[in-house]
Structure 1
Amino acid sequence: MAEQLVELNVTGMHCNNCAMSIHKLLEKKGLHNVLVSFASEEVKFSTADQSILPQIIKDIEGLGFKVVDEENVQPTPFYDKVENKFIFCAIFTAPLLLHMLLPWHFLHNPIVQLILCLPVFIVGCLHFGKSAYSSLKNGMPNMDVLIFIGSASAFIYSLVGTIENLGGHYLFYETAATIITLVLLGNVFEKRSVNQTTSAVKNLMKFQQVNANRVINGSVEVISAKDVAAGDTLLVNEGDQVPVDGDIISGNALLNEAMITGESIPVAKTKYDKVIGGTIVQQGNIRILATKVGANSTLSQIIDLMKKAQAAKPPVQKLGDKVASIFVPVVLLIALGTFVITYFATDAGLQRSMMNAIAVMVISCPCAMGLATPTAVMVGLGRAAKNGILIKGGDTIEAVANTKFVLFDKTGTLTTGKFSIKEIKLEEGFNIEQVRGVISAIEERSNHPIAKSLVSELQAYPQQKLILRTAKEEKGLGMRAEDVDGNNYFLGTAKHKTPDHFNLTLYRNQVRMAQIAVDDTIKPNAASLIAQLKKAGIVPVLVSGDKALRCNTLAATLGIKEIHAEMLPEDKLKVVDMYHKKGKTIMVGDGINDAPALTHADVGVSMNDASQIAIQSARVILLNTDLQSVVTFLQISKHTLITIKQNLFWAFAYNIVAIPIAALGFLNPMVGAFAMAFSDVIVIGNSLRLKIKKVS
């Protein structure tokens, strides 16, 4: 039985550590393609057995979270929002801290301090205690265990001191309250910052939340875009957003497709042209026939692709995940060891020993490790998407590190696929205007892409007009025609051997009028792209099914030294394999014949106007046909990987340095709680720099 994707909405995740505990649970259950995002409150996984779903939901709720029906998602209650919990706790914690600075006698009263601390401790028990208990019960202790034990130890120690009337040296109510308040503040920062890292997907989702003008029997009704059915006729006016994918059945318009391609210059659209949901009509009015709606629309597929991409972990993250998974038990042992050694070996006393142990637990947050990779990946994927580059997975970013070779297909990749006349060689007795007129008259009667390109190009040049009586296409050969004076013409592949670059010959009454060299034009940024790759130490390679002479000419123009011409799909596969053995290899292509090579390369890159099979085979899709996107993709990937490594270094270094300092007694628990929250902010802030960082 084929595996199916299951999507659940889970509330109650207040930090990345919560998401990690659900992730570990699902992996323990043997589920595949697990994605848990605490920012979007989504849990996804694949399973072939749908009958296990009720038990999975029960297990997730056993961890202290709540699985809700997407259709009936209730707004988070006021008292359950982490921001409101922080504000509530801060109000009571502030006077507790002030007693250390102000001489007001009543603030030093143990009962007053207990009354101020108790509401904060209750919030801490409900927020961290429930999660800590559930994680311990399921054998997966999380960070909340450390926070709860640390704050509870300080509170219970102070409570005993108050009941026994042992004096001010036994009162650490401010420590218990401050730990809880500062960790809640860290949760607030984390939630808000991670929301920013996922903004690219959320911005795209906003494009789906629009209305559509449906035309029925001449009248127009306004409906939600999600209610549009395939086959509906929709009216899209100037300034409106195109609600779904469709074909234009009437009207003309200029569309801003920046949302899809990253290109801000409006694109002219007319009858029969395709439009994409989410693009905006800047000028004009059109009627469209809805073709792709709901989950089949381009926008929905892009959103789904980006969500899946965030789930695919780069190998560099596995180290962080492994450390984080054993971190809490190790820290508890270190804290216990700190208490025992300080108490028995140094005669520091119960109070000092306990404070040192609490400081170790509070400062040892593994959240920064858990956030290091996903935040950088989300921002990197979002920045790429804004530039019209869709990356199918965070693991792709690491796959392109240290790329040695970039293999290019020719037609439609380095060239536009739009043909033009490179040379016309006239035979004696004929002039150029006459020949242009004959070519235009004949090719106007053909539907072939080359014919359309030639007619469009020749309109700009002077020509001698010709009126044809008949014209017919001979498949695989060319066009035969007869003019009103009874002259017979043939325009097509040469009957006699000609130099390789002349691929069309024109005859009148079996006498050759001219030889014509036709080729597709090189894309504007092709030469610049090749130069930039070479500068970066990457070897560009041309792999094409086209004739050797034309491949050599293109390669010489662009500065490509390594050429493989007249390649069949299986030959391209062998070439990719050959380079793959020498080093990291990227394949850029657009045709059906490129699909095997795209799959076989370390990373396959496909153009948006490519065949569907090429898009499915590739791990990167360039929505903008500008070749500069290839360099932008490599640069964003490089800087995302640099950011991940910086984040992991900071997260590991922080814990390696902070834990011994806390264990030796140089750090009190309140400073530890602040430092712990600050470490998350540093990691997330470094990831957010990717949004504006210069990557060239």
Structure 2
Amino acid sequence: MNSDSGLQRVDFGVDGMTCGSCSARVEKVLGRVDGVERASVNLTTQRADVELDPRQTGVSDVFSAVEKAGYTPVAERIEFGIEGMSCGGCAARAEKNLNALTGVVSASVNIATERARVDYLAGTIARDALFSAVEKAGFSPIEPDTDNTQTSAESPSDAAIYKQSLLFAVVFTVPLFVVAMASMVPGVGTAMHDVLPERGWQLIELLLVLPVQFWAGRNFYRFGWRECRHLAPGMNSLVMIGSSAAFLYSLAALAIPGVFPAETAQTYFDAAGMIITLILLGRYLEALAKGRTSEAVNQLMALHAPTARVARDGQWQTIDADEVVVGDVVQVRPGERIPVDGAVTAGNSYVDESMISGEPVPVEKSADAETIGGTVNQSGQLEVRVMRTGNDTVLAKIVRMVESAQSEKPAIQAIADRIAGVFVPVILVVAAVTFAAWMAFGASPALPTAFVTAVAVLLIACPCAMGLATPAAIMVATGRGARMGVLFRRGTAVEQLASVATVVFDKTGTLTEGTPRLTELETTGGFDRRAVLRLVASVEAKSEHPLGAALVAAARDDALEIAGAHAFTTYPGQGVEAVVDDRRVQVGSSAYLASLGIETGAFAARAEELAHQARTPLFVAVDGQLAALVAVSDPIRDDARRTIEALHAAGLEIAMLTGDNRATAEAVAAEIGIDRVMADVMPDAKADQIKRLQDSANALAFVGDGVNDAPALTRADVGIAVGSGTDIAIEAGDVVLMRADLTGVVGALQLARRAMRVIRQNFGWAYGYNVLLIPVAAGVLYPATGWLLSPVLAAGAMGASDVMVLANSLRLRRGGGVGAEVAARDDGRANGPTDRDRPHESGQGTSKTA
């Protein structure tokens, strides 16, 4: 709301704050934003209260500041369709109206999907206000969908609507064209005039063109008039004006020929009809291609099983899948789709999860194994207990994620839409100037030439291609990625990933398997190996750290009893301690034991040797005395080396971020070819290390497991979460790899680079087309060649331009599977040799965590 002083007060939630220093940091960051007069952040309510000057800054700037601080501002989101848009200028106009509303954080309108996505502050604006803003721009808002997992079989597609209008137009346009052209054929024209005079044939042309002009072309008038009424002309306006000019000129020439100068009372009924028909053909082909760009989402929606066989009242009953509830047991026979997310309670089988994960090899399922709705049971019968239904299922989340990525507008498209927003008014001016110039300087009779060139200019201009250049490619790329198991959560991530210069990998669970195992346990005199292992395992059983889990697993493998521990305390990044059998046991790094006053020099040389072998050394103290040195190793993943090699081949620098000590980290880096190592980084300092790299480098991607690395994933230009379809990693990062396979990073990079190359080609075609053909339509070639561009050819060329852009985008559907080698040529830049000699960096402190 706005105060009397002209300041706007904004109240919103902030997620991710855990302590007073968090709220203080957010408050400090908000206070630095230009135009913010006051900022107050409450940790208890998790909300921020900000007063700002709307003339200097907006809500989006405030939200951006909070995000850069590493936290998540909370806004409501609504998505809805918009009817009547025909070009990028239309999308830009609707978007501008929405963004101008108080309380709107950001609004994005996508011409390819014909949808708007609006983030707004709850309680500050009503949905009706959003719809009203769209209507004021000259378009019709459509009620938002409520179910993303169902297809709408009842409503006809755009392609079906255009096809119906096109076929109707063709029925009248073909005889219209025959009549008009036949009169120009020697002999045939004379024969026709023997049957009817010229005005009689012109009257027949009028009767044939009327249904085409005012029924088949009715939507051009409907939306074109609305655009003009709101002083915001678009492509519909150009078509309406161009075809109406040809029709009205012809009608006047037929009805009152005497008012025209000599030899200018000509009719262009055939041109008016052909214009409508050819543009309908272009729109139909465009709609078909648009349908193919969203085919991946439709295929995912089609995976939703319509029915399920559920145990009810002691027998199996087939019911609608939407009626299944959590806790039900579902029976799935061989060859059937699994209707829900759940866990196997009985049976053994193999399940094809390729459409979800991109993994072509069927996955074995037995008791307690998790299943994903939409996957196909292959061999055996399974009984599955339902865990998630409806919009909570993995399939529904994937569909929402892909649709969200397709709706978001990359920076390159925002620029194109701003250009398209002024393009149509400029074309109207160019057409008027063309008409005036031919009337003033053209050879007599000048009116027909001036008329033909002005109409050709109106019809040849094609901001549609500019508006479709990016969203069409983004739609196909994100759909292709979904089929490969690479999910782009944001459309902007495609553009950003294509331009990254550095990829930073988390070590534990990303470059390594994440399941460490005990490799050494060496004791000092007086301590028994098995006794020490039992004490250590009893302490670590209280810890959730993977290194501790390795020690517990080793004790159980030795059939040792895990004793109860109390007074357990953990020191993040350093170590743990507890009391076991009345003995105080402390396990951690050398720095941790040194802080306790316990000397570790007896094992110093051996610890360094183990660290150089990529093993993590830990020291054990019992009752204040050094008892043992243990070493834990986390095996490097099989796909790590070839992934790093492929990224190096693409000209990228590779860095590794870990809490492990310097020696262990460098040993891993040397084995797989990492360029830069950031070791000894405390868990809460990973995001700061990413920011430090960003300050000194170009765009940066961070690859982590999506669970423990959320701050770093958020801070990076592109966060890539490596997980699986049933992990909470699906909610983290800008790019989610559905399989725990590092080669997916290579596939995602390759796909992003191909998409950006296609987008650049699309823009080259769209802008080049207009730069070259608008002057041709205006008649610049006439003095040298005597050739003028017919309005009919101009209309056909306009439709062809859109189809070319869409066809080029559809090439992204082919090739470039996950794990494919990324060639240096995929990048539009020259890639020099990778710098392998940069000095390694270190964070603050010492840690046993990664």
Using the size of structure 1 for normalisation, the TM-score is 0.85
Distance 2:142 2:329 in 1: 38
Aligned partner of 1:112 among 204, 210, 213 = 204
Distance 1:53 1:183, change over 3 A: same
Which residue identity does 1:152 align to in structure 2?
A: S
Deviation at 1:371, TM superposition (A): 0.4
Give secondary structure in 2 for the equivalent of 1:403. Answer: coil
SS class of match (1:283): coil
How many Å apart are 1:136 and its aligned residue? 1.6
Deviation at 1:451, TM superposition (A): 9.4
- Aligned residue in 2 for 1:678: 800
- AA paired with 1:90? V
- 8 A contact 1:124–1:148 mirrored in 2: no
Displacement after TM superposition at 1:149 (Å): 0.7
**Alignment counterpart, residue 26 of structure 1, candidates 98, 104, 117:** 98
Q: What residue identity is the alignment partner of 2:423? A: F
- Of 118, 123, 133, 1:45 maps to 118
- 1:88 equivalent in structure 2: 168
Q: CA distance change for structure 1 residues 415 and 537 in 2, over 3 Å: closer, same or farther?
A: same
Task: Give CA deviations for 1:140-194 in whole Å, capped at 9, x if unaligned.
Answer: 2111111011111111111112123578960111110111001111110111101
- Identify the match of residue 647 of structure 1 among 750, 757, 762: 762
Report the residue type matching 1:53 in the other structure: R
TM-superposed CA distance for 1:27, in Å, is 3.7
Preserved contact between residue 371 and residue 683 of structure 1 (Cα < 8 Å):
yes
Provide the rounded CA distance (Å) in 2 between the counterparts of 1:335 and 1:26: 31
Report the Cα offset of residue 211 of structure 1: 1.5
* Separation in 2, partners of 1:577, 1:493: 28
Indicate the larger mover: 605-614 or 595-604. Answer: 605-614
Q: 1:529 to 1:65 in 2, by over 3 A?
A: same
State yes or no: 1:141 paired with 2:233: yes
Tell me which residue corresponds to 1:520: 634
Residue 362 (structure 2) aligned to one of 259, 266, 276: 266
Secondary structure at 1:263 match in 2: coil
- Comparing 118-127 with 130-139, greater Cα deviation is found at 118-127
Which residue of 2 is the match for residue 462 of structure 1?
none
Q: What is the CA–CA distance in structure 1 between the aligned matches of 2:420 and 2:84, rounded to whole Å?
A: 21
Assess if the C-alpha contact under 8 Å between 2:90 and 2:421 holds in 1. no
The offset of 1:74, in angstroms, is 5.4
1:170 counterpart SS class: coil
Partner of 2:668: 554
| SS of the residue 1:417 aligns to | coil
CA distance in 1 between counterparts of 2:706 and 2:126 reads 42
Q: Which residue does 2:771 correspond to in 1?
A: 656
Q: Take 1:466 and 1:138, find their aligned partners in 2: how far apart are those partners?
A: 80
Query: C-alpha offsets along residues 30-80 of structure 1, whole Å, 9 cap, x if unaligned?
Result: 645435456666444234358633354456567364735858995349998
- Point out where structure 1 has 5 or more consecutive residues left out of the alignment: 428-433, 460-464, 482-489, 507-512
Do residues 537 (structure 1) and 651 (structure 2) align? yes
CA contact (8 A) 1:249 1:271 kept: yes
Offset from partner CA, 1:615-653 (integer Å, 9 cap, x none) = 545211111111111111111111111111111111111
Q: How far 1:558 sits from its partner (Å)? A: 0.4
DSSP 3-state at the match of 2:325: coil
Match in the other structure for 2:248: 156
Q: Distance in 2 between matches of 1:79 and 1:271?
A: 47
Cα separation, partners in 2 of 1:13 and 1:216, compared to 1, 3 Å? farther
Distance, in Å, in 2 between the alignment partners of 1:595 and 1:61 is 40
Which residue of structure 1 lines up, in the alignment, with residue 403 of structure 2?
Answer: 307
Whether the 8 Å CA contact 1:608–1:623 is kept in 2: the answer is yes
702, 708, 712: which one pairs with 1:587?
A: 702
- Aligned residue number for residue 593 of structure 2: none
SS at match of 2:245: helix
Q: Distance in 1 between matches of 2:141 and 2:763?
A: 31
* Counterpart check, 1:356 vs 2:453: yes
RMSD: 4.0
CA distance, structure 1, for counterparts of residue 87 and residue 319 of structure 2: 38
Distance 1:611 1:597, change over 3 A: farther
Distance in structure 2 (CA, Å) of the matches to 1:384 and 1:78: 25
Q: Secondary structure at the match of 1:400?
A: helix
SS in 2 for 1:563: strand
Q: Which amino acid aligns with 2:489?
A: K
Question: Structure 2 counterpart of 1:200, which letter?
Answer: A
The equivalent residue for 1:510 is none
Give 3-state SS (helix, strand or coil) of 2:736's partner.
strand
* Counterpart among 142, 157, 176 of residue 67 in structure 1: 142
Correspondent of 2:338 among 242, 266, 289: 242
How far apart are the structure 1 equivalents of 2:166 and 2:578? 77
User: Is 1:276 aligned to residue 359 of structure 2?
Assistant: no
Whether 2:506 is the aligned partner of 1:409: answer yes
Give me the whole-angstrom Cα distance separating, in 1, the residues matched to 2:588 and 2:134.
68
Letter in structure 1 aligned against 2:647: L
* SS of residue matched to 1:246: strand
Aligned to 1:607: 722
Asked if structure 2 preserves the Cα contact closer than 8 Å seen for 1:359 and 1:668, the reply is yes
Match of 2:738 among 605, 616, 623: 623
| TM-aligned CA distance change 1:41 to 1:219, over 3 Å | farther
Measured after TM superposition, the shift of residue 245 of structure 1 is: 1.7
Tell me if the contact between 1:21 and 1:142 (Cα under 8 Å) persists in the aligned partners: no
Contact 2:86 2:235 survives alignment (8 Å): no
The 1:293–1:524 alpha-carbon spacing in structure 2 relative to 1, beyond 3 Å, is same
Q: In the alignment, what sits opposite 2:17?
A: none
Work out whether residues 367 and 680 of structure 1, in 8 Å CA contact, stay in contact via their aligned partners in 2: yes
| 1:571 and 2:685 aligned | yes
Q: Could you say what secondary structure the match of 2:498 adopts?
A: coil
Deviation at 1:120, TM superposition (A): 0.7
1:368-387 mapped onto 2 (5 Å cutoff)? 368-387=465-484
Match of 1:486 in 2: none
Tell me, yes or no, if the aligned pair for 1:15 and 1:190 is still in contact at 8 Å: no
Contact 2:305 2:374 in 1 (8 A): no
- Maintained 8 Å contact 1:405/1:538: yes
1:54 aligns with one of 128, 131, 145: 128
Deviates more, 1:47-56 or 1:408-417: 47-56
Task: Say whether 1:389 aligns with 2:512.
Answer: no
Aligned equivalent of 2:712: 597
Deviates more, 1:328-337 or 1:287-296: 287-296
Larger displacement relative to structure 2 (87-96 or 209-218): 209-218
Matched, 1:6 2:102: no
AA of the residue aligned to 2:681: M
**Equivalents in 2 of 1:198, 1:77: separation in Å?**
12
Query: Structure 2 CA distance, aligned partners of 1:202 and 1:125?
Result: 30
Q: CA deviation at 1:234?
A: 1.9
Task: Specify the alignment match of 2:843 in structure 1.
Answer: none
Q: Deviations over 1:454-508 (max 9, x none)?
A: 999999xxxxx9887x554658689999xxxxxxxx9x999985433375899xx
Identity, % of aligned pairs?
A: 32
**Does the C-alpha gap of structure 1 residues 612 and 390 become closer, same or farther in structure 2, counting only changes over 3 Å?**
same
Distance 1:533 1:651 in 2: 32
Q: Take 2:325 and 2:776, find their aligned partners in 1: how far apart are those partners?
A: 63
Counterpart residue identity of residue 155, structure 2: P
Change (3 A) 1:116 1:337: same
Q: What TM-score, normalized by structure 2, do the two folds share?
A: 0.71
**Contact 2:86–2:464 under 8 Å retained in 1:** no
Cα deviation, residue 369, structure 1? 0.4
**Distance verdict in 2 for CA 1:152–1:316, change over 3 Å:** same
| Aligned partner letter, 1:522 | I
The one-letter amino acid of 2:275's match is I
Report deviation, 1:254.
1.8
